[in-house]
Amino acid sequence: MVVAGEGMIPAPSPRREATDPLPRYRAIIPDWKRFSDACRRPLPIVARAHTLRISPDALRRRLAERGIDAKPLSWEPLLLATDRPVGATIEHWLGLLYVQEAAQALAVIALDPQPGEAILDLCAAPGGKTTHLAARMQGLGPLVANEPSGRRQQALLSNLNRLGVLNATVTGYRGEGFPLATRFDRVLVDAPCSAEGTVRKEPSLWSGASASTIARLARLQKRLIVRAYDLLRPGGVLVYATCTLAPEENESVVAHLLDRRDARLSSPRLPIEAEPGLAGWQSETYPVEVRRCARIYPHHLDSGGGFLARFERA
């Protein structure tokens, strides 16, 4: 029996060829054929060079010595597409790289953390975005990685240790109850979500998540985004990110924050094409500024799909 692991992509099932992916969203995805075709392709293997320990060029040379071809993505040279899995290489175990979907880098790029700032990753496990934040900060400044689940904390701690991140402190608060005693320059909410954007590697999501799952997660996401905003210093930046396509977990959550707080919504600066946020969904109409959000689909960057919103606190 073969078990799919890191870097291994399950073969497309016959059902994928016969049906459309995530049919609920056909009316809101402008180029449905490109989207549908991308969902049927195997997900590329991508590794991020961990620049606290190695440059992308040096990592490419090391992998080439092992017979692994690694090419930088055109929009982000830290991300290397490889022609075979790299999770079992010594470079992985030395913390020189982190295996991830390319789309996972976009939230950190949108947040744009700077060395010396105080940063909070409110939903941090397993640590891909936390370690990317640390690298962008050049290891300078306090970085709080919060994860309430003890089991998931183990994966977070393992990755922080493997990649040699020394400026991170791990906390275990429920995100919606994170203490307000400290304020941060930037906060990332990579929210728990229905993960429909990962359909290329999760065949169980081909038809979409259940309505009850989406509704349950949206309630949590609304509590998380309000608490994250309240944790910002004046002038601070919040990025809300999901890997799902459900408007209930995306635009509706953004609209909830705009209704509860005097938050300024700005367009995230991204190195790829993206679609704007929706003006409305079903019976709900969203504030006009929600169009400044970014919807990312698999065909935009040959990766997973998701959603990004960027706020500034007055």
Residues in the chain: 314
Looking at residue 260, what DSSP letter applies?
Answer: H
243 is catalytic: yes
**Catalytic member of 39, 123, 193, 243:** 243
- The DSSP line for 50-105 is -TTT--HHHHHHHHHHTT--EEEETTEEEEEEESS--TTSHHHHTTSEEE--GGGG
Give, in degrees to the nearest 5, the angle at Cα 94 between 92 and 96: 65
Give SS3 for 3: coil
**Residue 188 bridge partners (DSSP):** 121, 239
Q: In whole angstroms, give the CA distance from residue 27 to residue 24.
A: 8
Question: 263: which 2 tokens?
Answer: 């938050």
Give SS3 for 144: strand
Q: In whole angstroms, give the CA distance from residue 90 to residue 313.
A: 43
Q: In whole angstroms, give the CA distance from residue 89 to residue 96.
A: 10
Active-site residue list: 243
